[in-house]
Amino acid sequence: MRRRTTIAALAAVLSFSPLAAQAAPASADGGTSSTPRSVATSTSSAGVDPASACGDLVQLAPVLGSDHTPDGKQITPKPTADGRRVPVIIVHGWVSYDTHSDARDHLFSQYVDRTADPAGGTGYLLAQSQYRSSLIGMLQQVPGAEVYTFDYSQVGSRWVTDPQIGPKLSQAIECLSDSYQQKPVLVTHSMGGLVARQALSNNDSKGRPISGRVSNVLAVGAPNNGSDSAQMIASALTIGSEIPLAGLPIRMLWDYIGQCSEQMDATNTTCTGIRAVDAFRSSGGEALRTGSAQLAQLPWWPDNVKVTAYVGDIQMGGISLFGLNSPRLLDLGDLLVSVDSAKAGSQRSRQVNCEYGIISTKSAETGLVRLMLAGQGNSVEQPADLLSSPCFHEAMLHETTITGDLQRDLTEVLGANTAWHDPATAGEQSAGATTVSAVRESR
């Protein structure tokens, strides 16, 4: 009984992360689409449909009938003004997964449903009538974007060097860049940013740097320097387990999690059903902690790839009253990843801030509004609280400012020259490239 109570306590801490709630599918398939893909034209030296040629590595995301443009219309992917289509690869985080379907059970597929307040404060949860699209749906509206998902959920507890994670993403980049003759753009979340770093450090099948095949990385909440929260939880449990007698339940829990993590790494099956708990001592879970040897050995972002960081910062405590403004007592980052860790190595960054526990008139007004709207759910727009903060690690993928910035930044990237030509075959391709038209059918 005591062990179950302690497990529940750890689960409560980790449940702030989406990683705890998501269960990876038994198999990674593409989901279903309510509407067929439009006819896409791409250039391939092999004369095949890129989605088929690279289908063992990535999946073309379907356009969902339940995703809409801001004015309520169906999404119809279009090429750039000069007729290009460019692969955009979605890379998920630790013990998460990437499939895109109307079930909306993975983070990139959930409706954009909350917004941070640029003037400070708690942010807001949108009314359901204001929902329009998922982040993937927003990216599919960018001219030229061909959105693919890269799913490594079957080995999701392992570290990025696993052959089915970073090295496999390298293969996907090579395949798509050859098929489209365009440099892919990577859109990553959490450990997906570290997966990208590992992939970009590899060489392609001809011994050339993979980084030369990628134009940009748009990285949301990447723990480039590790996760302080993961490190603190591990340290607390380790120290607690060493306390004579009183530490016995914690030691039993720590050993139990270790056994579950070995099971996760080996078979991708859980003990408790909470993946972030069961994988906490897995190879990936341990490597994600600030100061880990694995992070120290991971190659940094390459100089020839532009990285944009998207960052959340939850600020706690302080006073803003009668002209008196004190510093915030705590800057928690997105709870799992600090601001400095998320920004590390990037050339530019976008950030949203959320404030809680502030003594201010605005805070009092927000509390009163929340009390008045209690029980109405998502039928009305209402203030967010700490647990539903738009600045949380997972919530940034369905927050209006961050997703809007991602959409605008991708539009800028795809508007520039993204062409990729294999130096060894550039002459042959320019003399007679094969253009193929592939109908993207619903999946």
Beta bridge partners of 68: 74
Whole-number Å distance between alpha carbons of 272 and 252: 15
Whole-number Å distance between alpha carbons of 350 and 372: 33
Q: What pLDDT tens digit does each residue of the chain (443 aa) get? A: 434 434 444 444 444 444 444 444 433 333 344 443 433 444 444 456 898 999 999 999 999 999 999 999 999 999 999 999 999 999 999 999 888 999 998 899 999 999 999 887 899 999 999 999 999 999 999 999 999 999 999 999 999 999 999 999 999 999 999 999 999 999 999 999 999 999 999 999 999 999 999 999 999 999 999 999 999 999 999 999 888 888 899 999 999 999 999 999 999 999 999 999 999 999 999 999 999 999 999 999 999 999 999 999 999 888 776 666 777 788 999 999 999 999 999 999 999 999 988 776 667 677 777 777 777 777 888 999 889 999 999 999 999 999 999 999 999 999 998 999 887 765 544 433 333 333 333 33
pLDDT at 60: 96
Whole-number Å distance between alpha carbons of 55 and 36: 17
Complete edge-to-edge strand list for the sheet that includes strand 359-360: 324-325, 319-321, 359-360
Mapped onto helix, strand or coil, the DSSP state of residue 54 is coil
Whole-prediction pTM value?
0.86
Q: What is the full DSSP assignment across 192-255?
A: HHHHHHHHHTSB-TTS-BGGGG--EEEEES--TT-BHHHHHHHHHHHHHHTSTTTTHHHHHHHH
pLDDT at 321: 67
Domain edges within the chain: 11-226+292-416
What single-letter amino acid sits at 32?
A: T
CATH numeric code, 11-226+292-416: 3.40.50.1820
Dihedral (CA of 171, 433, 89, 217) sign: positive
**In whole angstroms, how far apart are CA 109 and each of 90, 170, 186, 230, 415?**
11, 24, 16, 26, 25
pLDDT at 100: 93
Whole-number Å distance between alpha carbons of 62 and 440: 8
pLDDT at 327: 77
Whole-number Å distance between alpha carbons of 240 and 257: 15
Number of helical H runs and strand E runs in the chain? 15, 16
**In whole angstroms, how far apart are CA 172 and each of 120, 123, 136, 214, 254?**
41, 38, 19, 11, 37
What single-letter amino acid sits at 303?
A: D
**With b meaning 16 or more CB within 10 Å and e meaning fewer, what string describes 82-108?**
eebbbbbbbbbbbbbbbbbbeebbbbb
